[in-house]
Structure 1
């Protein structure tokens, strides 16, 4: 994790791990706008000052959580595609990982990835849709997201070496998977999946979008 994301590494103490676990729970329950360090401190039996020793503000904490998720997801992509030789099958596996419900990884007891995935869907774009995005980008705070896009972009090129827009399509897959999931559950008239609320249909839609695009390329 980029050391500029935090003042003190939360992975190195029990309080830090509590901050990560309970902040995801509170953000998921109440939304990022309603989330405060005071509420977090009350929830974990600490003080606001104790939390501020780890994170400069709640937005920096949100960027940390999203970066943590992208790092974890890139590992999942690598793990699930490592032994797949067919580039089409490999890319379909990635689409499935992006568009379907995430299960909690029991090896990371201080992070509930299933909840964190829901935060990425509902709050993730707030990490970079800010006036400070250029400054944060210079500090390489979004590198995990860019790295994941690069991995997916390379898989797209494996399927279609002459395709001109692999990075654009890679980021589109990620964002579209989240938007369609959000719309399906909250604004169903904006999707074709609102009635059945079936993630498998989102997977099929993304496969159609991706492979129709790269076939033209």
Structure 2
């Protein structure tokens, strides 16, 4: 898979950005360093001025790529889910047994993410930490319906739909495949957050991962 991803460009909805950051060295630097800065200081305190100072560029040059920090966060989220979609596609394509394919898909979207060395300017492990903490900020806005119509969340929904399809293969009679799939994808982010910050209200810890929890939940739910 790494060989394929070396030549792969994750497609992000062009309406999210002003100029595609993948087309220039500065654009890639903006993406690379924004990930580290958001992880370091949080999205609330993150500004284009601070990012510009970090990369040695004028604040105005950042606005040539993104009209707001919200759009930048949506871009990072879209890139992440696009990368996750490709991982799902390649990791499940040769598994014929539906339950085994579902378990593999759950593992992909719930496991601890390691950095992928084939994407030099993006550290997926750090980006995953941002997604765990900040992803809901891309959805819980007044503009969510309009942005949904513009296709901002299409790739995120495609990831969930892949899992929905497998759930329906495992148990065509299960009535809540969509709710189960979306609960797995977003719930895993929440469980990782609880595991790191609010340990007393989750069973997930160093010995029990969100992956183990969701595989156990799905197996018991779909076998009924």
In structure 1, what is the equivalent of residue 212 of structure 2? 204
Matched residue SS, 2:147: helix
1:130-183 alpha-carbon deviations (Å, 9 max, x no partner): 111111111110001011111110011111112222121111001111111110
TM-superposed deviation, 1:95: 1.4
> So what's the TM-score if we normalise by structure 1?
0.95
In structure 2, what is the equivalent of residue 26 of structure 1? 37
TM-superposed deviation, 1:197: 2.7
**1:162, 1:47 → 2: CA distance?**
57
1:28-73 alpha-carbon deviations (Å, 9 max, x no partner): 1111101100010001110110000000100000000000000000
**1:149, 1:100 → 2: CA distance?**
16
In structure 1, what is the equivalent of residue 4 of structure 2? none
**1:153, 1:183 → 2: CA distance?**
25
> So what's the TM-score if we normalise by structure 2?
0.92
TM-superposed deviation, 1:202: 2.0
1:93-131 alpha-carbon deviations (Å, 9 max, x no partner): 111122221111111111111111111101111011111
Aligned-residue RMSD, C-alpha: 1.1
**2:171, 2:194 → 1: CA distance?**
30
Contact 1:55 1:61 in 2 (8 A): yes
**1:135, 1:185 → 2: CA distance?**
33
TM-superposed deviation, 1:15: 0.4
Written as runs of structure 1 = structure 2, the 5 A alignment for 1:3-152 is 3-152=14-163
In structure 2, what is the equivalent of residue 170 of structure 1? 181
**2:101, 2:25 → 1: CA distance?**
38
Q: How many residues align?
A: 213
Structure 2 unaligned regions, length at least 5:
1-11
Matched residue SS, 1:62: helix
**2:42, 2:165 → 1: CA distance?**
34
**1:124, 1:11 → 2: CA distance?**
21
**1:116, 1:46 → 2: CA distance?**
22
Contact 1:185 1:197 in 2 (8 A): no
- The runs of at least 4 aligned residues of structure 1 exceeding 3 Å deviation read none
**1:203, 1:150 → 2: CA distance?**
19
**2:18, 2:111 → 1: CA distance?**
34
